[in-house]
A and B are shown apart, each in its own frame.
Chain A
């Protein structure tokens, strides 16, 4: 089975190419079978590969062909499978298949059914290449491939200029990170002479010692790429706008898979990051600040999808925090559970939006508990997992992260004492997470109904929701076989007090949400309606005014400079040539007035000139 792993990305790719080439001429049923079926088949292959791999336990690599050969630079089109890859493959194909199945119903009424599945399959293929690549160049191919597909899918309803702007923003902002990453690849290649991940990490280990400058720079550049793709501070602004795409796209790309590519990249090259403890610390701090910022913002949003988008940013912040404190497996664990429950939440939100005439404002919803029971239960379970209530999947992964942060015992600099502070920050984030996720539940599903649903989700939407519900509940009991991939972290026994606090914090958060948004018994209006409260709300609502900040310090000066350069004197020469040509054209075209007599007369002019010349010569 292992030698057939090339089929995994090939199937969605072939399906995508066929869908593009037939350009929507196929019947819808066939499009749905091709789109969802190809991913489903890949998922089955991944299952078989995973089974076999559990017995084998040694990394397996497969070279299909040499991609290009320039001197001693010969990156292969080759795949590398280890436990980390298998986990990622399972998440991508498994969750991906469920979302595709869901999409077959969600997109039923869309006229661009075929285009949608073509993009989605292309995305899955690129994402699979990303995680299966055995060298950084191939990984970069997948990396850019998912970027393009994300761009195409965010701007899927391209007839609305707002969506086009959102997709452009997503593309350009991630491009900043991608440029940093490309520079990192250049640096690594010039220093180490290879981009094969495993040999490269070994070479790095033997060549540099911990704390050297060059691995720090390389790690920093790779972190830039990861930050862009995973929507972390300071490049997170694109993700909330990327919600312009269809909701299943948000579930697959902007929650479950693509945005976690940055986490995967750091985990995959963790050997390099271990050589640069300062950068690793920076990863943790980026994660912490992002999760706090996004959690505060999520608390104030009114659009159901934007709440989830900020919550995604926040949860990826947790993953970064985990990576930063060296809890690699905890980070990947949270990646997996997050893929389950965030996909569930997005699909649930999609179902709500789908059934409520595309209404996205949560304050125009309400009382949906009895009207959309399946959606209610999936949302409840998803929110519970997101808030990390005990015994849901999110609880186990987040608990691991927080405990690892608490236990951080670095050897140098701030890492000596910062552990408990990271833990405390994570707890603040956790309580906020609980509040905003249950705020969503109470506002949307309780209270009085404001909009009537006009349909019920069919089985193709209900089945993925139910499966994801189960996964969100039991996902925490999966034991990821990542021990051989990452360096083991010594497990310390923490006091029961810390454990107790970790468990009780989400419950307190839910309680607050219940009091404020269900019972309305906490007098928060007194604060939120005061001028300070209003200012804070607006500040948080705008995402800490980051968009405005970037607009002021980057976009405006840039466009200003571009406008100033427009009147450059060199251009005048070319404009002069252009107007000369235009003038001559206008002059000459006037002679072509269609008047036969004028033509004859001008011919006679020519004749006279010719005869005159003839007479002169002779």
Chain B
């Protein structure tokens, strides 16, 4: 019974992703992407990783997607942009990429099915993750925090306004990585 839940979630994730990446409207694509992320969160939950599932929803589907929404709002792409996007969906454009990724997929699937691997089923609680995170992985946590700091500074630097020549444009909100509190 629950096994079927997994396959349904997997199918939802897959189709939502495909839809997300083929839309011409960025906002619609974003909604599909959120659906895909939620589906993946369901898979995490089913796999016995509730903490990861919660973080997936909070950080991915929440914080990161909100950043996308902000940026799309600011860019104000409009109908014209959509029309352009639609024209770009020409078969000549996507045949080669699709072929390449199909080849890669087939290879991966062949490799994966070759091995009769183990089965999932262990429940790993947030406590275990926390013990591990601040035990053997404490250095990785520090590195991650440094990476996030670098992301913060980089985003501030890249997102700042340009010199005088376009000072009349609206000031650009810098994307703040709320996700910084994830690890700390």
* Interface residues in chain A, defined as those with a beta carbon under 8 Å from any beta carbon in chain B: 601, 604-605, 607-608, 611-612, 614-615, 618
Could you tell me if A608 and B100 are in contact, using CB atoms closer than 8 angstroms?
A: yes
A607 to B104 Cα, complex, angstroms: 8
Could you tell me if A615 and B107 are in contact, using CB atoms closer than 8 angstroms?
A: yes
Please tell me if B182 contacts chain A, counting CB pairs below 8 Å.
no
Could you tell me if A608 and B107 are in contact, using CB atoms closer than 8 angstroms?
A: yes
Chain A residues with CB under 8 A of B114:
618
Please tell me if B103 contacts chain A, counting CB pairs below 8 Å.
yes
From B110, which residue of chain A is reached at the shortest CB distance? A615
Could you tell me if A601 and B96 are in contact, using CB atoms closer than 8 angstroms?
A: yes
Could you tell me if B97 and A611 are in contact, using CB atoms closer than 8 angstroms?
A: no
Could you tell me if A608 and B104 are in contact, using CB atoms closer than 8 angstroms?
A: yes
A551 to B1 Cα, complex, angstroms: 105
Please tell me if B101 contacts chain A, counting CB pairs below 8 Å.
yes
Given A604-B100, A615-B110, A615-B111, 10 further pairs, Cβ under 8 A: A601-B100, A604-B97, A604-B101, A605-B100, A607-B104, A611-B108, A611-B111, A612-B107, A614-B111, A618-B114
Chain B residues with CB under 8 A of A601:
96-97, 100
Least Cβ–Cβ distance between A267 and chain B, in angstroms: 76
Chain A residues with CB under 8 A of B104:
604, 607-608, 611
From A607, which residue of chain B is reached at the shortest CB distance? B104
Could you tell me if A618 and B107 are in contact, using CB atoms closer than 8 angstroms?
A: no
Chain B residues with CB under 8 A of A608:
100, 103-104, 107
Chain A residues with CB under 8 A of B111:
611, 614-615, 618
Chain B residues with CB under 8 A of A615:
107, 110-111
From B104, which residue of chain A is reached at the shortest CB distance? A608
* Interface residues in chain B, defined as those with a beta carbon under 8 Å from any beta carbon in chain A: 96-97, 100-101, 103-104, 107-108, 110-111, 114
A615 to B110 Cα, complex, angstroms: 9
From A611, which residue of chain B is reached at the shortest CB distance? B107
24 CB-based A-B contacts, threshold 8 Å: A601-B96, A601-B97, A601-B100, A604-B97, A604-B100, A604-B101, A604-B104, A605-B100, A607-B104, A608-B100, A608-B103, A608-B104, A608-B107, A611-B104, A611-B107, A611-B108, A611-B111, A612-B107, A614-B111, A615-B107, A615-B110, A615-B111, A618-B111, A618-B114
Identify the 10 closest CB pairs spanning chains A and B, nearest first.
Answer: A611-B107, A604-B100, A615-B111, A608-B104, A608-B103, A615-B107, A612-B107, A611-B104, A607-B104, A601-B97
A615 to B115 Cα, complex, angstroms: 12
From A614, which residue of chain B is reached at the shortest CB distance? B111
A157 to B18 Cα, complex, angstroms: 75
From B103, which residue of chain A is reached at the shortest CB distance? A608
Least Cβ–Cβ distance between B107 and chain A, in angstroms: 5
Least Cβ–Cβ distance between B70 and chain A, in angstroms: 23
- Interchain pairs with CB closer than 8 A, number: 24
Chain A residues with CB under 8 A of B96:
601
A612 to B96 Cα, complex, angstroms: 18
Chain B residues with CB under 8 A of A604:
97, 100-101, 104
A96 to B32 Cα, complex, angstroms: 94
A604 to B103 Cα, complex, angstroms: 10
A618 to B112 Cα, complex, angstroms: 11
Least Cβ–Cβ distance between A598 and chain B, in angstroms: 11
Chain A residues with CB under 8 A of B107:
608, 611-612, 615
Least Cβ–Cβ distance between B104 and chain A, in angstroms: 5
A615 to B104 Cα, complex, angstroms: 11
A618 to B113 Cα, complex, angstroms: 13
Least Cβ–Cβ distance between B180 and chain A, in angstroms: 28
A605 to B100 Cα, complex, angstroms: 7
Chain B residues with CB under 8 A of A612:
107
Least Cβ–Cβ distance between B96 and chain A, in angstroms: 7
Chain A residues with CB under 8 A of B110:
615
Least Cβ–Cβ distance between A593 and chain B, in angstroms: 16
Chain A residues with CB under 8 A of B100:
601, 604-605, 608
Least Cβ–Cβ distance between B111 and chain A, in angstroms: 5
Least Cβ–Cβ distance between B171 and chain A, in angstroms: 28
A607 to B101 Cα, complex, angstroms: 10
Least Cβ–Cβ distance between B117 and chain A, in angstroms: 13
A426 to B101 Cα, complex, angstroms: 100
A400 to B64 Cα, complex, angstroms: 108
A601 to B96 Cα, complex, angstroms: 9
Interface centre among B96, B103, B108, B110 (most CB of A within 10 A): B103
From A612, which residue of chain B is reached at the shortest CB distance? B107
Chain B residues with CB under 8 A of A614:
111
Least Cβ–Cβ distance between A614 and chain B, in angstroms: 7
A491 to B7 Cα, complex, angstroms: 131
A607 to B108 Cα, complex, angstroms: 11
A614 to B101 Cα, complex, angstroms: 17
Least Cβ–Cβ distance between B31 and chain A, in angstroms: 25
Least Cβ–Cβ distance between A618 and chain B, in angstroms: 7
From A604, which residue of chain B is reached at the shortest CB distance? B100
Chain A residues with CB under 8 A of B103:
608
Chain B residues with CB under 8 A of A605:
100
Least Cβ–Cβ distance between A609 and chain B, in angstroms: 10
Chain B residues with CB under 8 A of A611:
104, 107-108, 111
A231 to B110 Cα, complex, angstroms: 90
From B100, which residue of chain A is reached at the shortest CB distance? A604
A200 to B96 Cα, complex, angstroms: 88
From B111, which residue of chain A is reached at the shortest CB distance? A615
Least Cβ–Cβ distance between B22 and chain A, in angstroms: 16
A140 to B101 Cα, complex, angstroms: 78
A564 to B96 Cα, complex, angstroms: 54
From B108, which residue of chain A is reached at the shortest CB distance? A611
A604 to B101 Cα, complex, angstroms: 8
Least Cβ–Cβ distance between B36 and chain A, in angstroms: 21
A618 to B96 Cα, complex, angstroms: 28
A583 to B103 Cα, complex, angstroms: 32
Least Cβ–Cβ distance between A83 and chain B, in angstroms: 79
Least Cβ–Cβ distance between A515 and chain B, in angstroms: 84
Least Cβ–Cβ distance between A617 and chain B, in angstroms: 11
From B93, which residue of chain A is reached at the shortest CB distance? A597
Least Cβ–Cβ distance between B61 and chain A, in angstroms: 25
A608 to B110 Cα, complex, angstroms: 13
A611 to B103 Cα, complex, angstroms: 10
A608 to B107 Cα, complex, angstroms: 8
A601 to B100 Cα, complex, angstroms: 8
A612 to B107 Cα, complex, angstroms: 7
Least Cβ–Cβ distance between B14 and chain A, in angstroms: 19
A605 to B110 Cα, complex, angstroms: 18
Interface centre among B96, B100, B110 (most CB of A within 10 A): B100
Least Cβ–Cβ distance between A579 and chain B, in angstroms: 32
A417 to B108 Cα, complex, angstroms: 110
A601 to B107 Cα, complex, angstroms: 17
Least Cβ–Cβ distance between B90 and chain A, in angstroms: 14
